[in-house]
Chain A
Amino acid sequence: MATKVHMEALSPTMEEGRLVKWNKKEGDAVKTGDTLAEVETDKAVMELVARADGQLIKVLVPEGTTVPVGNVVAYIGAPGEKVDGASSAAPAAQPSAPSAVRSAPEKAEDARIKASPLAKRMAKDAGVDLKLVQGSGPGGRVVKRDLEGAPAAAAVDVPRTGLPFEDVPLTQIRKTIAKRLAASIGPIPHFFLTTEVDMERAAEARDALNKQLGDQGKISFNDIVIKAVATALTKHRACNAWFQEDHIRYWNEVHIGMAVAVEDGLITPVIRDADRKSLTEIGTEARELAQRARNRRLKPEEYTGASFSVSNLGMFDIDQFTAVINPPEAGIIAVGSIVAKPVAEGSQVVVRRRLRLTMSCDHRVIDGATGAQFLKTLKQMLENPLAMLL
């Protein structure tokens, strides 16, 4: 009996996957553990692994197709074995990611518009272009309920020579970012605390450390900030927490999510137990995770489970900004760029390197004073790095 190969949930939040590339083709021998295909999930590109030995006797889903988790994508069995090939092809046959508005008109002309006869009549009557309606019927067919409330087309269609805009369907990562962050800023009562930190001593310490390390590696300001945030959180557990509907989880471990810009999006790999790691360990790990994040090779356990996050836009000359909290975390620190600026020291004006940090807090977990106290500790640690050892 042939073994079904399913689109597996390769990450906790995955609902569908785009089959990017088949590594094996029909007729190839496969063993348990072999990589059958590469699948783009909501977060990264992952491997779909064979769970049986045999021959890949049938491939149901072509490259480039998006398939819901649970659908059969192929069969592994004995050579020449017959299987039902039609079972799950129907819902999977959608090119790339579906979106409310289809891509450029030239492509849509070829696609057969799937709509019930009733829906076609209603659309014609209302002047609605069926190509622009998202279908909720079987196989993505447009049905009556999809048209109840669809906007009517303009009375006159003025033909133009060039396209005034280009619609790009949301990729998996953009969809996930949209979904997660809209679910954050809406329901979470954010408030923001900004503080300006003097970074002279931190800069001096960093220079000294890097001179000492030589070519064994470099410590960046970001590493220092992460370490300071992690250490400060051990003294302010109230900020190291998750909001959980009817209770708050105060973490006794500190796992810092580090926002990394990747092509087309953003992902937050996690540095676990950051409070217990040395600066060099944090530095190495941060660089390695960022690299793999950019190559979309992070495993689910590497981008989930942070207790607090840090987002740094300093390298883009941003003075300060407010970050959106990653639920279920209760806070995030937004790091701006380090700028040399004139400050008052007593009655004198001196030039010092300063850094603006903005903390976004979930008011359901962190109150103003609590957040402020944490920020004060953080500031002290950054202004006098040895304070981290206290």
Chain B
Amino acid sequence: MLRPYTIKLGLPVANQFDVVILGGGPAGYVAAIRASQLGLTVAVVEREKLGGVCVNIGCIPTKALLHSAYIANLLKESKDFGVEVGSVKTDYGVAMKRSRKVSEQNSKGVEFLMKKHKVTVVKGSGLLQPGKKVKVGGDVYEAKKAVVIATGSRVKGIPQIGLEINKTTVISSDEALLMEKIPGSLAIVGAGAVGMEFADIFNAFGVKVTLIEALPRILPLEDAEASDALAKSYKKRGIEVIAGAKVTKATIAKDKVTLDVEAGGEKKAIAVEAVLMAAGRAVNTENIGLAECGIQVTDRGFIKVDKNLQTTTPGYYAIGDVAGPPMLAHKGSREGIFVAEGLAGQKPHAIKYDNVPSVTYCHPEVASIGLSEDQCKERKLDYVAGRFPFSANGRARGTGETEGFVKIIRDKKYGEILGAHIVGGHASEIIHELAVARENEYTVEEVELAIHAHPTMSEAVSEAALDSLGRVLHI
């Protein structure tokens, strides 16, 4: 294998860059592009494929599969719309292969972007070293300005109760995204965004799904009304939802898993062909050289960073999942831009961590930003909530997407948008109007003053804003 030739007398100048980024996922590669735009020389060290978890075994393939699921469900009702299909047959293998193609396309896209922006990509596993250096195999890469750690996260099991991922009967999203044959029955442990999305996908492909959540309601981080709406919707589709459930033991046989579950005072034994672990992700902070460089971690395991995202060792920064919650790709990307701009000598716009939209892409979609109603109550804020159901929206009626609602929580005194929650078709897109509003400190009045096109789902946003002001028009 050819390695870059280094002259023993002097420094290996070929391996010196302004910025060296460890990790080529959405945080790392975006930081690289931005830094390059600002005139810095950049190297990205990536041990697997560019695009990271998001592009390869996360966001991108799941959304492709979710669309296959959506089509499957849509076709089951297509007769009402005047389209006869006969019996709908699903083949997860084909859907999965398509999602792999989409991932590959995106990953190549990131490769292209790296070339376009003249970012050097180093394939291999990087080890942080003191003096702003990263060792990859036998080579050392030196950063003149900073090393940025963007190593991301991975799936994790709950070994304490016997739920260690074995990739056959106890699987993670990694296996779910690559399997060709799906089980007849599946228990999903964890009803956050990942659990909810896989429940949707597998249910649409004919699997008997049992969704188990330890906290009192599914989608525990979303507004309570959103959790209720999704629980009802899933029950209607035949997905068994057990919230407030504790898995006390898992017995793993050759092709069967029995879960002992305690919920609502009752004990149940659930037997399934496989279990999908969706109960959280672990950050990749082991064996990357943190201790040798004096970089500290918080007691929750994230890399400790200051408000500039610099770690406890000057010259080393951390972005993305490793730097802390929310563990979302777009938050990582924004942190990447922030650090790149800071390193280029600019004073970047401070990241508003309370204004990161959160989206779950199951059907109906759930999108939210800011505070939930319960959080407003906890903080004793003087608020008014405005609601508008999609069942009263013209566009939604036309497309048959009448499930869900828009809820906007406004501060009573000045109309500041404290939080917004959308459940329904296209929620993931509609939420952005409110993200822009909150970022610029618009109140509900300014949101409503912008004329919304008719007929659109977005009108529900305008109406919810009016409802919060006590003058809703269309209900």
B440: nearest residue on chain A (CB-CB)?
A116
**A390 at the B interface (CB under 8 A):** no
Given the known interface contacts A117-B442, A121-B443, the answer about A70 and B346 at a Cβ–Cβ threshold of 8 Å is yes
State which size class the interface on A falls in: 10 to 19
Interface flags, B387-427, vs A, CB<8A=1, else 0 = 00000000000000000000000000111100000000000
A117 touches B346 (CB 8 A): no
Candidates B347, B413, B416, B445; contact of A68 at CB < 8 Å: B347
Interface residues in B, total, Cβ within 8 A:
15
Q: Which residues between 278 and 318 of chain B lie within 8 Å of chain A, taking CB atoms?
A: none
CB distance from A114 to the nearest CB of B (A): 12
Task: Name the distance in Å between A147's Cβ and chain B's nearest Cβ.
Answer: 10
Are the CB atoms of A117 and B345 closer together than 8 Å?
A: no
Number of A-B contacts (CB under 8 A): 32
Decide if A122 is an interface residue (CB 8 Å cutoff): yes
In the complex, the answer to whether B446 meets A117 with C-beta atoms within 8 Å is yes
User: By the criterion CB–CB under 8 Å, are A125 and B414 in contact?
Assistant: yes
B408 to chain A, nearest CB (A): 14
- Interface bits A178-194 vs B (CB < 8 Å: 1, else 0): 00000000000000000
- In the complex the two chains form, what is the Cα distance from A138 to B413 in whole Å? 24
Interface residues in chain A, defined as those with a beta carbon under 8 Å from any beta carbon in chain B: 68-70, 116-119, 121-122, 125, 137-138, 143-144
Q: A117-B441, A118-B414 are in contact. List 4 more A-B contacts (CB 8 A).
A: A117-B445, A118-B415, A118-B441, A144-B416
CB of B349 closer than 8 Å to a CB of A: yes
Q: Output the residue of B347, B414, B440, B441 with the most chain A CB within 10 A.
A: B441
How far is A121 from B446 in the complex, measured between Cα atoms in Å? 12
B414→A122 contact, CB < 8 A: yes
Least distance between B270 CB and chain A CB atoms (Å): 49
Chain A residues with CB under 8 Å of B441's CB are 116-119, 137, 143-144
- CB < 8 Å neighbour of B416 from A69, A70, A118: A118
Contacts of B443 in A (CB 8 A): 117-118, 121
Contact assessment for A121 and B415 in the assembled complex, using a CB-CB cutoff below 8 Å:
yes
Give B442's nearest chain A residue, CB to CB: A117
Is A70 a contact partner of B345 (Cβ separation < 8 A)?
yes
Residues in A with CB closer than 8 Å to B445 are 117
Bound-state Cα–Cα, A29 to B160, Å:
74
**A125: chain B residues within 8 A (beta carbon):** 413-414
Q: How far is the CA of A52 from the CA of B349 in the complex (A)?
A: 31
Contact of A118 with B346 in the complex, beta carbons under 8 Å: no
A1 vs chain B, min Cβ distance (A)? 11
Q: How far is the CB of B424 from chain A (nearest CB, A)?
A: 27
CB nearest neighbor in B for A145? B441
Residue of B nearest to A15 (CB): B347
Question: Taking the nearest CB of chain A, how far is it from the CB of B88, in angstroms?
Answer: 49
